[in-house]
Amino acid sequence: MNELVSLHDIQQAAARIRPVARVTPLLDLSVALPASCAAKRLLVKCENLQPAGAFKIRGAYNMAAQLSAAERARGIITYSSGNHGQSLALAAHLLGIRAVIVMPTTAPDVKIEGARRYGAEVLFEGTTTLQRKARAEGEARARGLTMVPPFDHPWIIAGQGTIGLEILDQCSDVATVYVQVGGGGLISGVAAAIKRVKPAVRIVGVEPCGAPKMSTSLRAGHPVTLDRTTGVTDGLLAVRPGELTFPHVQALVDEVVTIEDDATLNAVRWLFKEAKLVVEPSGAITVAAAFAGAGAPLDGPVVAVLSGGNVAPDAFARYLG
């Protein structure tokens, strides 16, 4: 088994990213909960308020900042559905590094424009993680670029794990934490941080019904590649978990549940109307899981990570309906 990221790794990452990544607020939305909500006390971790609009700045900056001078000079490349690409573009801009981002042909304009705004070159390839990964690896070889993967690297996982440290600081009696599952970097880091400090806290992964790559892999006992993925949560549509993130989830996560798109869009609407928060579907899926009480006896404070808020105005208007 690959070695799991340590608490020390995450603590070092927290110090490294402090000048760039925000300590995002943990908002208590309990007073606004609908009567049908399974959670009685719900707090949301507002990563939609990060620079570049998503939690990804944590891992992207943590890795980019540790590259050697030679690696920085060659430039960096990644493959991303959008949020990691934007965040790496920002990290590269801050560090004076040339960046290339490979995005799917279906990437939302708001995420493409975000990466370009920070000076990155954007390339397009296919619709799946594996397709854009292959293109990025080819470009890296041909152009001598340094790869900064979106989730399957210990430095990326450690950066994302800083969210877990903040949750423990902001809600010392937290009982359950819902975390999105795309490729698995976010939940791997959050679980690694929280379980090392408070192992009794229940960690529940949440993925869309149209992209159950992690739950399928857990049942199989090894990473599985799905034939296809679909749904409104564009940031969570990876077809396969990472080779490093999978053992983290296997060892540290209590359960992984799946949520329908309709429930996710209801959560998008509720967060806007009741909390005045703009959250993309990938970010709101955890609130949908908390509403349903999926995967957990909700007997204490429940935290739902809002992973990002990068959503085009026209799409957001449709979601609000």
How many Å apart are CA 67 and CA 149, to the nearest integer? 13
Which residues, in sequence order, are CB contacts of 128 under 8 Å at separation 6+?
A: 104, 228, 229, 239
Active site residue 215: no
**For residue 91, with 0-12 CB atoms within 10 Å meaning exposed, 13-18 middle and 19 or more buried, which class applies?**
buried
Structure tokens given for 316 = 């957001």
What type of residue sits at position 5?
V
Q: Which of 80, 81, 87, 217 is catalytic?
A: 81
Residue of 6, 36, 40, 56 with catalytic role: 56
Cβ atoms of 190 and 248 within 8 Å: the answer is no
Q: Are strands 26-28 and 42-46 parallel, antiparallel or unpaired?
A: antiparallel
Active site residue 81: yes
Q: What is residue 245's three-state secondary structure? A: helix
Give the total residue count for the chain: 321
Contacts for 104 with CB less than 8 Å, ≥ 6 apart:
81, 124, 125, 126, 127, 128, 131, 132
Whether residue 195 contacts residue 252, with contact meaning beta carbons closer than 8 Å, is answered with: yes
H or E stretch at 31: none
CA distances 81 to 23, 59, 167, Å, are 24, 15, 26
Q: Which residues are catalytic?
A: 56, 81
